[in-house]
Amino acid sequence: MTLLAQLGEGLPERYYLGLDVGYKEHVGAVISLETFVRGGDRWKRSRCLHFPSRQAGLDRFQRYLDGYSPDPQTFLGICEPTGGYYGATVYQYLLDHHYPMWMVENALTRHMREQIVGGIPKTDDTEARVMARICYLHEAVGEEFKLRPLRLARSDEASLMALCRDSWKLSQMIVRERNQFTQLMAVVFPELKTFFFHNYRQYVAYTGYYAGLEKSQTIDRTRMSRRGNRDLKRAYFQIAGPLVWFDRGENPYEALFERKTAAGYPWYKAMPFVCAALARHIYHCLKFKQPYAVEKAFGVVAPASEQALLDLQAGLDEQLEVMEAHLISEEA
């Protein structure tokens, strides 16, 4: 049974407070139970108070509330959580003075505003009046809303919330600036779009180690791409070669090479798969800004002498030429 059904003709002294929090000023709207019970649109024109978010504003707000009733228990108020630290002072003031306050989600306020006032533009006064209306519907009429009591977070919770909020805002700012820069460069320097890769497949294809699909009327087979950056292809081969042929321990690249050779691939067809796997791993390191720790992945590797490194590089260059010669001859 609703409050109005219990009271019959007698109405108590009851006021509903809607509080819209802002940066420089807040807006409060107090509407009496009697105004709502009379019906009509009178409540939509109720007087609102704009008061600054300073001590002088709180004093003015208190005089506004006292003009309706000096007893805080005759009020029931609602505010939104979007104010954050902007509303901390006024929230604490209302709690210290024992005003019953509840929190309502912004989506609910927006939904009620669209249902009640239709296409009227959103204003702070309208938001405050709609929140007061939600108070009335929740208590007097019995319409249920998802409300929760107003409670200020403890200092440690507030600090964590501030860090999370700052991190979220910083991430948003970085993404926004990156998108703006991309749009600007797309106009000033359109060729720049070809220098970035949307996923690891494009990057691996750029290295020349991406397995492409060759199709024609008589051919339908997978082959290693001959396109790509030759210098980058050489660099990956020089990294992958020692891991496959000279590393005395076990590593995933050597295991991949052994699986391919066990499946019947000659070495010059197995090595491109190893280089593609290495390129994919390095792409993820670059994308997520994570260091590629060789010691963590393969254990401690003893450093080689300078002459040994030069000899190894020369030998790998020859192996790369042999590998490409085999692949080209088979595709011809």
- Tens-digit pLDDT string for the chain (332 aa): 455 545 555 678 899 999 998 888 999 999 999 888 888 888 988 999 999 988 999 999 999 999 999 999 999 998 887 655 677 888 888 988 999 988 888 788 888 888 877 777 788 899 999 999 988 988 877 766 777 777 766 667 667 767 887 888 888 888 888 888 777 777 777 666 666 677 778 888 888 786 554 444 444 444 555 567 788 888 888 888 888 888 777 788 888 899 999 999 988 888 888 888 888 888 888 777 777 665 554 444 444 455 555 665 666 777 777 777 777 666 55
- Binning the chain into helix, strand and coil, the percentages to the nearest 5 are 60, 10, 25
> Regarding the domain with residue range 3-152, which homologous superfamily does it belong to in the CATH classification?
Ribonuclease H-like superfamily/Ribonuclease H (3.30.420.10)
In the prediction, which pLDDT does 19 show? 92
pLDDT at 92: 85
Inter-helix orientation angle 252-262/230-245, to 10°: 90
The pLDDT value recorded for residue 310 is 60
Annotated domain spans of the chain: 3-152, 162-188, 200-331
Give residue 221's pLDDT. Answer: 46
pLDDT at residue 27 in the model: 94
pLDDT at 331 (0 to 100): 57
Give the span between the Cα atoms of 173 and 176, in whole angstroms. Answer: 5
CA angle 156-160-164, nearest 5°? 170
Predicted local distance difference test score (pLDDT) of residue 67: 93
Residue 217: what pLDDT? 47
Largest interatomic CA distance in the chain: 102
Vertex 214: Cα angle to 209 and 216 (nearest 5): 170
Q: Please, are residues 61 and 91 in contact by the beta-carbon 8 Å criterion?
A: no
| 3-class state of residue 70 by DSSP | coil
